[in-house]
Amino acid sequence: MTLSASAAANRRGILCMVGAMGCFVTNDALVKFASQSMPSAQLIFIRGVMSVLLVLAVAHALGATSRLREATRGWVAVRALVDACATMLYLGSLFHLPIGNATAINLAAPLFMTLFAALFMAERVRGARWLAVGFGFFGVVLVIQPRAEGFNGYALVCLVGTLFHAARDLMTRRIHAGVPSILITLSTAAAVTVVSGAGSLLQGWKPFGLLEFALLALASVFLTGGYYLIINSMRHGEMTLVAPFRYSGLLFALVLGYGVWGEVPNMLAWFGIALLIGSGLYVLINEKRRIPIAPPPD
């Protein structure tokens, strides 16, 4: 791959990652409203069924339904199972941890992704990328400000879930390029739905109204978009370059928190926000300097 082609792939990967984080955060906000009157497993299952139906419709429109078997084979199936386990581990720990602590642990994923890419994919991790990941995570901690007393045994469960999320992204790179991303999305949505459906049988069901149904329907659209975009972000560009832009999800969360709930960051959090934005800009500027300017034609 030429440097210009590599740069284009990296840009696409970064844009997809930022878009995925925006979709996931919006989904989380919609689910937060619906969860006030519904058990978590029931909520995830209903949203998952809607997501599966939506992905099937899109796959049919793209002519990919004739290849549905590929969604149940090899790395596609393994990735989906790992994603479902990661989701349930994170949600299970979230109910027993302060949200700030759980979010801080979950946003350690770029650190693990960078480490995994260096160890298992032979990606060369330049110092600039380690700095971006490190300073970005420090910015996350400053924004969230997790409390020491909030850490307990479930913090380890959350950490395992984060490792699973990083492993899932690594597995995305193992899937053959010929497999359509929409089929990987379908496999993921189906696996999470099946696992949450089993959990809902244990947790029990409660009646819900039209408002909850509408919120979950809209959430399924953003969830599906997040699944599809994060898959594409991992299939394009260098993993160690794309990983730090996962922190952009926190910036989306801050905007939603202010716009919907009127939450205003304190001074320490503003410093963390500056670190997050600065680390992203640093990566972009450093990457741009690596690409030589083509000489003018004779």
Query: 217 lies in a domain?
Result: yes
Q: What share of the chain has pLDDT > 70, as a percent?
A: 94
Q: Please compute the mean of the pLDDT values over residues 268-280 and round it to a whole number.
A: 89
66 burial (CB, 10 Å; 0-12 / 13-18 / 19+) is exposed
Contact predicate 223/27, CB 8 Å: yes
Arithmetic mean of pLDDT over the chain: 87
For the stretch 150-198, pLDDT in tens is 788 888 888 999 999 999 988 998 999 999 999 999 999 999 999 999 9
Lowest-confidence region among 8-17, 124-133, 181-190:
124-133
Cβ atoms of 64 and 185 closer than 8 Å: no
Which residue has better confidence, 286 or 224? Answer: 224
Helix (H) or strand (E) holding 156: helix 153-172
What pLDDT score was predicted for residue 297?
41
Domain count, the chain: 1
pLDDT band at 123 (very low <50, low <70, confident <90, very high): confident
Output the pLDDT for position 65.
92
Question: Which residues are CB-contacts of 170 (< 8 A; sequence separation ≥ 6)?
Answer: 113, 116, 117, 120, 121, 239
In this prediction, residue 7 carries a pLDDT of 82
Phi and psi at 195, nearest 5°, equal -65, -45
pTM more than 0.85: yes
The answer to the question of residue 295 being in a domain is no
Number of H helices, E strands in the chain: 12, 0
Question: What does the CA dihedral 42, 33, 145, 116 come to, rounded to 10 degrees?
Answer: 50
Q: What spatial distance separates the first Cα and last Cα of the chain, rounded to whole Å?
A: 25
- C-alpha angle 29/44/249, rounded to 5°? 35
Distance CA 165, CA 232 (A): 15
Q: Is residue 143, in this structure, part of any structural domain at all?
A: yes
Is the per-residue pLDDT at 108 higher than 70? yes
Contact 260, 29 (CB under 8 A): yes
CA–CA separation, 245 and 87 (whole Å) = 20
What pLDDT is attached to residue 293? 43
71 falls in which pLDDT band (50, 70, 90)?
A: very high
Q: Is the pLDDT assigned to residue 13 strictly greater than 90? A: yes
Task: Report the distance separating Cα 271 and Cα 262, nearest Å.
Answer: 19
Which tokens hold the place of 60?
């049919």
| The one-letter amino acid at 201 | L
Is 298 a member of any domain?
A: no
Q: Closest Cα to residue 246, out of 23, 3, 7, 6?
A: 23
Within-domain flag for 249 = yes
Residue with tokens 């990987």: 184
pLDDT of 1: 56
Nearest Cα neighbor of 132 from 234, 250, 248, 281 is 281
Question: Which stretches of 35-108 are DSSP H helices?
Answer: 40-61, 74-94, 99-106
Is residue 269, in this structure, part of any structural domain at all? yes
At 265, the pLDDT band (50, 70, 90 cuts) reads confident
Please check whether residue 78 lies inside any domain of the structure.
Answer: yes
Digit-coded pLDDT (tens) for 191-213: 999 999 998 888 888 888 899 99
In a domain, 296, yes or no: no
Which residues form the domain of 109?
Answer: 3-290
Distance, CA of 19 to CA of 36 (rounded, Å): 27
pLDDT reading at 296 higher than 70: no
